[in-house]
Amino acid sequence: MPLISHSTYIPPAFLKNGHAQTIFSALCRTVKDVTYQRERLLTDDDDFLDLDWRRVGSTRLAILSHGLESSSRRSYMLGMTRALNQNSFDVLAWNFRGCSGEPNRQARAYHSGATDDLHRVVQHSLKHGYTCIVLVGFSLGANLTLKYLGERGRDAIAHIAAAVCLSVPLNLAECSRAISRQPIYNRRFLRQLTQKVIAKSIYVPQPISLERLRRIKTLWEFDDCYTAPLHGFKNAEDYYAKCSSENFLDEIAVPTLIINAMDDPFLTSACFPFERMKKLRMVWFETPHAGGHIGFVSFNRQGMYWSEQRAVEFLAERV
């Protein structure tokens, strides 16, 4: 489809910097009026996924997938849940393995290409009788969503009506390098990830070596030492190459909106393949000049960020 050449997003005057948008939305926003009902979905490998539901009695369901070291409780997940509820969607905000507040049982965790778990969630939601299902993904969860849709191809049409993906690391290797070069983000992710590895090493049945953990300095090194081998990849480069959503865009068969801010500190030029996007039949590509990483801050009476308004608008036109 044609690129969306003009985005309607206008940032607040004091948040025109991508870092400011990223940090403000992560640390300063609160969404207090959203409560979930939790359901535990047991998996066939003796593990579990915690699903957080917010129902308004709709026949339409939105499945939300969060970002790296996040959860259903993050403000962007709560804000999107509220916006979708207000526009007659039930919401299922699922937590990746180990992200719901309780460690998962297996050595494996989650990663950018673990579409088997997203498929489990989609299949489970179908049992609830919804006539329309849409997907919304953020960052790592957006990469996961695009990869899932590409893998399923035309088969996805039977169950999925549309999708919205925000702040997508289309090229995982380039984004890992970008994060690894920025201490404020690299240290935060590394601290959370290493803490999980240490905690998991105590009780999982498969041994996890902690020998190299203290020497790891970057997100790339963590993925090389832990994420990749734990999930069947040769190394970080192999993991990134096989799981980057840029490799799956051509096969997407449902209407899908990708929104990447030009000032996103996590994304590089590889995440803005404008010429390629022009050739895609079912993918819309919108690139606001501002917005940071899962930022898109707006101030209004509804408390709704621009990204939430835009997602609702895109989905309403198609379902």
Structure tokens belonging to residue 266: 């996590």
Strands 160-166 and 256-259: parallel
Alpha helices in 31-181 (DSSP H): 75-86, 115-126, 140-152, 172-180
Q: State the pLDDT at residue 206.
A: 62
- In this prediction the pTM is 0.96
What angle do the packed helices 75-86 and 306-316 form, to 10 degrees? Answer: 40
DSSP H or E segment with residue 62: strand 60-65
In the annotation, is 6 catalytic? no
Neighbours of 272 (CB within 10 A): 16
How far is 128 from 119, CA to CA, in rounded Å? 15
Give the angle subtended at the CA of 76 by the CAs of 85 and 109, to the nearest 5°. Answer: 105
Q: State the pLDDT at residue 207.
A: 64
Domains belonging to the chain, first-starting first, are 18-171+245-316 (3.40.50.1820)
Helix, strand, coil percentages for the chain (3-state, nearest 5): 40, 15, 45
User: Which residue's structure tokens are 């101030």?
Assistant: 299
How far is 213 from 188, CA to CA, in rounded Å? 15
How far is 39 from 51, CA to CA, in rounded Å? 5
Q: State the pLDDT at residue 5.
A: 81
Question: Choosing from 176, 293, 298, 307, which is the catalytic residue?
Answer: 293
Question: Choosing from 70, 139, 180, 298, which is the catalytic residue?
Answer: 139
Q: What's the order of all strands across the beta sheet hosting 37-42? A: 37-42, 48-54, 90-94, 60-65, 132-138, 160-166, 256-259, 283-286
Q: State the pLDDT at residue 143.
A: 98
Q: What are phi and psi of 39, to 5 degrees?
A: -130, 135
How far is 77 from 71, CA to CA, in rounded Å? 8
Identify residue 26 by its one-letter amino acid code. A
Is 139:167 a contact under the CB 8 Å cutoff? yes
Question: Choosing from 100, 263, 264, 298, which is the catalytic residue?
Answer: 264
Q: State the pLDDT at residue 205.
A: 62
Q: What are phi and psi of 4, to 5 degrees?
A: -85, 95
**Partner residues linked to 286 by β-bridges:** 4, 259
Structure tokens belonging to residue 185: 């983000």
In the annotation, is 224 catalytic? no
Flag residues of the chain having pLDDT under 70.
1, 204-208
Q: State the pLDDT at residue 199.
A: 85
In the annotation, is 180 catalytic? no
Strands 256-259 and 283-286: parallel
How far is 215 from 230, CA to CA, in rounded Å? 18
How far is 133 from 136, CA to CA, in rounded Å? 10
